[in-house]
Amino acid sequence: MSAADEAIARVAASDRLLVALDFDGTLSPLEDEPMDARMLPAAREAVDALVATPDTVVAFVSGRSLVDLRVIAEHDDSSRVLLAGSHGAEFWIPGEGVVSHGEDDADVALRDALRGHAEEATAHLEGVWIEPKTFGFGVHTRRASAAAAAEANRVVDEIVAAEAPHWRRRTGHNIVEFAFRHEGKDSAIAELRERVGATAVLFAGDDVTDEDALASLGDGDLGVRVGDGQTSATVRVADIAALAELLQQLATARSRG
């Protein structure tokens, strides 16, 4: 039995398992148009299989705003999948609906002002898009040249440093995000773990922001990194298809247990 098989068997034996999954790049390919993202069929089948197993809770944990995450995950009010959006600052819980940590008028006004300033400062840069987010905004550069991307990030960094130096800055695949809330995927996992009473957690992700969650896992948990890059995960898989196979393996083991 490989080390990965042993790790899967260990978490599969947990009394109550939380399977928390990043979305973009983990269940869905990265898209030039972010709202075009959808789960690959194999990933969806694996998620559905896990949801159907006893004492297993599945959650999507994303930097996306909750409203956008629900769209790309094709998630409706009948779903049994929990959602953590905006890096854990807002949640959707079956039977409860939206649970948000809230915002005040001053934060919202500053968010809108900074987003407007960022849009104006980058309007001349082809391929750069400023994404509205519940608690801030993101600077997307996937379709921009390297020079345009560097310039966009430089000017927006200067804007935020001057007007909101207390905001949190995160980097990801061709995106830099700014937010007035400081929750991370580590706090999202902690909150979900407590909420569902999980005795173990499997978390899978593919990006820098996922490392907060991966580094926070305990000895009885399992972290999975999808693709390349430095990681705190104990298991690495090559791509979304390989993760789907791992999740199906876990679902089969949970069903037998």
Report strand pairing: 17-21 vs 200-205: parallel
Task: Tell me which of 36-45, 102-111, 204-213 is least confident.
Answer: 102-111
Task: Tell me which of 8-12, 58-62, 98-102, 213-217 is least confident.
Answer: 98-102
pLDDT digits (tens, 9 = 90+) for 62-90: 999 999 999 999 999 999 999 999 989 89
Q: CB of 246 within 8 A of CB of 225? A: no
Burial readout 210-237 (b: 16 or more C-beta within 10 A, e: otherwise): bbbbbebbeeebbbbbbbeeebebbbeb
pLDDT > 80? residue 131: yes
* pTM, full prediction: 0.82
Longest CA pairwise span in the chain (Å): 58
Which are the contacts of 153, defined by CB distance < 8 A and separation ≥ 6? 139, 141, 176
